[in-house]
Chains A and B, each alone.
Chain A
């Protein structure tokens, strides 16, 4: 093996790009977005912690219904929904605004001007989410899945989003250079798709309700596409950005990137109808959703292959780099969860998994094991470049990784197995329903254990983050990147 294969690209070290002018340019871009990006990351981590506490409450309530049972504002339906919205609109959107906009600005080689407006929009977004989550707990929840935030808070969210999203588009409009990288396609598309989805869903369900089950069609077109056309492209853009950056090696194939992007763009947005299989909607709608769900195999395999071919032979570096350890865990989860998702859309499989904890497990595999893990990787990459200082503790990063990866694996296995059994038993009318409920309890307890592990990981992450942010002199002066294993001496 050559020396090259043992080295992590110099670009992992924010001070040591070979090309001085590139370094200066990136440094100017980083400086222009620093305040806004820091605000978004701090908000994201705040929401992650709030969402975690809400998740733990919901998890314990699901097997111990008397737990905090006397408080109306903490009843399961509300805590669970507050958790979802805190994570989706608090954690996910803030971390997207931080990492996504930062990557976009860097790739477009354009500094962020008028950053005060971006910061104000960010503050008002977070006020909107706070009002929304409190509204849910107060009982002003809409009971429309993924759109629980009360009506009065949504215009503020839409407006703030418009003021934030436009920065990504402006960065693209005023980009320098000829080349447009695959991450830019994903980010540009997602920045445009999300508001379209959100406004249509708000209009047709909440403000001017469409008749009958048209609402359900809109609901699942929206809810599935929030994952597919918002979280997924942003996470894929991050993976496409950090892998070549850390390894110093270009993406394996441009053509696979193009194919992966456009096949996702065309197929994913039809797939949501599989949430209505067996429901009171026309069969053609559901069939269209099933076809698209199965076609999703193409972008998933293509992207998976492209990422795999890019890191192949460099697994030791992947394991050493905090960024890549998280991002590659997420990328692998993307392949697995998407293939499971495609099969769940088949009517025979869906007959068992629909209405069970299997779906909950699947959602967490997508949003946590894929999206969130990738975004942790993105934050691990971005922060040293924004702050020009290193992560204080490799041990805490390691703890974060192990707690998160083991925790989410336990959750996925427990909910998939428990949910599958639940579905089989629910479809057997000879088994009394209450028995099927009781049989889910051990699996739900395992889910609570996994939640505790995830909490440990999140606390480790937060401690490391704030330690870095308010770093003492010793952390500031460190020059070497924080890596997770010792570098092996070249042979």
Chain B
């Protein structure tokens, strides 16, 4: 191997091989994937061809504006380094048995995401369906207490606290309706006369977490009955 052109060709084609095999082929297969209705119906023209039903909702749904802002907070804080957003199939790991999701996630679940946050580390639990696990006002309250200081609702957790997403302030006249509702005798509650209220970033982040739910079927990934 004394010859620069020969050596260089080998070096070039070695990487070109996987670049076309993985990246380009992967892109051809998945790069045009679109949201879909939950089930398909036979086409009017050709009953052997399955098509999406007219007028049905197409999943995954787009994020709301505030949830999109919350995703940015999720990115800024590096949540991905301890939390995945992918549910593995039954029989491979215990994701579904742990209640982290209703079904495995598939490529189509991510097609609306401008940044895909699959993650590779589960220092904490998976969050692909966390909005289904902690839903509504109860879920919102839980998430705020948990983010302010995880020990409040999850003693023994190694998750960092995010006090900088909250404001501790003196109660003037009426307490804020948004103030965190600590459990009675919680050692993390603010002193009497003070309250802890979420900043806009905390509110956005929690709305994002609440929006994370894989509670719809896709043709290739139905939720089992």
Contact = CB atoms under 8 A, between A and B. Distances in A.
Contacts of A221: 18-19, 22-23
Contact of B160 (A61, A197, A356, A429): A61
Given A215-B116, A221-B22, A266-B14, A76 B81 contact: yes
Interface in A149-169: none
B122 A426 contact: yes
B158 A280 contact: no
A273 interface: yes
A63 interface: yes
B21 A77 contact: no
Q: With a 10 A CB-CB cut-off, give which of B107, B111, B163 has the most chain A CB atoms.
A: B107
A285 B26 contact: yes
Contacts of B97: 429
Contacts of B37: none
A185 B109 CA distance: 43
Q: With a 10 A CB-CB cut-off, give which of B8, B81, B150 has the most chain A CB atoms.
A: B81
B219 interface: no
Nearest to B75: A143
Contacts of A288: 21-22
A77 B82 contact: yes
Interface in A265-280: 265-266, 269-270, 272-273, 275-276, 278-280
Nearest to A80: B81
Interface string B153-186: 0111111111110000000000000000000000
Interface residues on chain B, size class: 35 or more
A173 B4 contact: yes
Given A65-B150, A69-B161, A433-B125, A279 B86 contact: yes
Given A77-B78, A211-B32, A433-B98, A266 B7 contact: no
Contacts of B84: 355
Contacts of B92: 278, 347, 351
Contacts of A185: 1, 7
Given A143-B78, A172-B4, A188 B11 contact: yes
B113 A212 contact: yes
A215 B115 contact: yes
A204 B23 contact: yes
Contacts of B14: 189, 262, 265-266, 269
Nearest to A437: B158
Interface residues on chain A, size class: 35 or more
A18 interface: no
Interface string A282-315: 1001001100100000000000000000000000
Chain A contact residues: over half helix, strand or loop, or mixed? helix
B158 A217 contact: no
Interface string A178-221: 11100001001100110011001000110001111111111001
A76 B82 contact: yes
A433 B154 CA distance: 11
B57 interface: no
A258 B1 contact: yes
A278 B118 CA distance: 11
Interface string B106-124: 1111110111111011111
A162 to B, nearest CB: 17
A211 B109 CA distance: 11
A70 B164 contact: yes
Contacts of B81: 76-77, 80-81, 143
Given A72-B164, A142-B75, A269-B18, A179 B2 contact: yes
A280 B23 contact: no
Q: With a 10 A CB-CB cut-off, give which of B31, B82, B93, B164 has the most chain A CB atoms.
A: B93
A42 B89 CA distance: 49
A265 B14 CA distance: 6
B163 A213 contact: no
Contacts of B7: 180, 185, 188
B27 interface: yes
Interface in B1-57: 1-2, 4, 7-8, 10-12, 14-15, 17-19, 21-23, 26-27, 29-33
Given A269-B17, A426-B93, A216 B2 contact: no
B99 to A, nearest CB: 8
B27 A75 contact: no
Interface in B70-113: 74-82, 84, 86, 88-89, 92-94, 97-98, 104-111, 113
Interface of A: 61-63, 65-66, 69-72, 75-78, 80-81, 139-145, 172-173, 178-180, 185, 188-189, 192-193, 196-197, 200, 204-205, 209-218, 221, 229, 258, 262, 265-266, 269-270, 272-273, 275-276, 278-282, 285, 288-289, 292, 347, 351, 354-357, 359-360, 426-429, 433-434, 437-438, 440-441, 444
16 contacts: A65-B161, A69-B160, A140-B76, A143-B79, A143-B80, A178-B2, A192-B12, A204-B27, A205-B115, A213-B118, A262-B14, A266-B17, A279-B118, A280-B104, A282-B29, A354-B93
Given A180-B2, A270-B22, A279-B86, 11 more contacts: A65-B158, A66-B161, A70-B163, A81-B81, A140-B76, A141-B78, A143-B117, A185-B1, A196-B19, A354-B93, A434-B156
Q: Which 10 A-B pairs have the closest CB atoms?
A: A77-B78, A429-B97, A355-B122, A265-B14, A212-B110, A269-B18, A139-B76, A278-B88, A143-B75, A429-B94
